[in-house]
Structure 1
Amino acid sequence: MAKRERSRRVIMEEVSRRVQQIDEIADEGRHIQVPDPQPHPRDGRGRNWDMARFGNARGFEAAIRNVVDDVRDEFDLTDEPVSSVPNPFGD
C-alpha cells in the first residue's frame, strides 16, 4: 500500500492528536510538546522522517515512540503542502 504524503504541519498535528489520546497522558492531563518532523533518507522500512525531543514527555517515551512509528509507517513527509481545499482563483 502506498503511503500518503503530508506536510510537516499536518504530520505534527496528527502525531500530537494521537499522543494526547494515549490513556496515561490523557488521564494525567499532560500536554506533550511535539517537535517538527525531521526529514532523512528513506530507511529500510521506507520511512523518510522522524521526531525526537518531545517536551513534557518523561515517563511516556515508549508510548510516544509507538505513536510516531505508526504515523511514520502511514505517512511520507513532503515539502509540498497538500491541500484538500481547491484554489478559488484557479492558479
Structure 2
Amino acid sequence: MTRKTRNASQLQEEVSRRIHRIHEIVEDGVKIRVPRPQKQPPDTTGCNWTMKHFGNAVGYERFVDDVLTAVRAEYHLSDTDDVKDVRSLFGE
C-alpha cells in the first residue's frame, strides 16, 4: 500500500480524531493529549515517523497503540515543516 504524505499538524489531528472516536474513550469522557509526530529514519515497515508520550492515556494504551499502528501504515510525515516562518510576514 502506498502511503499518503501529511504534515505534522495533519498527522496529529488524524491520530487525535481517531482516538477520540473510540467508544470506550468517548463513554469515559477522557481527553487524551496527542503529541506531535517525530521524524525518524524509515523503520522495518517503511514508516518515517512516530509519536511518544501520549498524555492522560493510562488504561487506554491498547487503543492508542492500535490507532497509531493504523495511521503509521497509511501516512508518511512530509519533509517540510508546517510551521510558517514569521520573518516572511515582514518581508525578511
TM-score category (smaller protein): 0.7 to 0.9
CA contact under 8 A between 1:37 and 1:51: conserved in structure 2?
A: yes
Gap runs ≥5 in structure 1:
83-91
1:8 aligns with 2:8: yes
Query: Mapping of 1:20-39 within 5 angstroms?
Result: 20-39=20-39
Could you tell me which residue of structure 1 aligns to residue 17 of structure 2?
17
Equivalent-residue separation in structure 2 for 1:33 and 1:74 (angstroms) = 21
Return the offset for 1:80. Answer: 2.6
1:42 aligns with 2:54: no
User: Displaced runs of 4+ in structure 1, greater than 3 A?
Assistant: none
TM score, norm. by length of structure 2: 0.84
Alpha-carbon distance between aligned partners in 2 of 1:23 and 1:35, rounded to the nearest angstrom: 21
Please report the TM-score for the alignment, with normalisation by the length of structure 1: 0.85
The root-mean-square deviation of aligned C-alpha atoms, in Å, is 1.3
Aligned length: 82
Partner of 1:59: 59
Q: CA deviation at 1:81?
A: 6.1
In 2, the alpha carbon distance for the partners of 1:81 and 1:43 equals 21
Rounded Cα–Cα distance in structure 1 between residues aligned with 2:40 and 2:32? 23
For structure 2, list consecutive stretches of 5 or more residues without a partner in the other structure: 83-92
Hey, what's the Cα distance between the residues in 1 that align with 2:80 and 2:49?
15
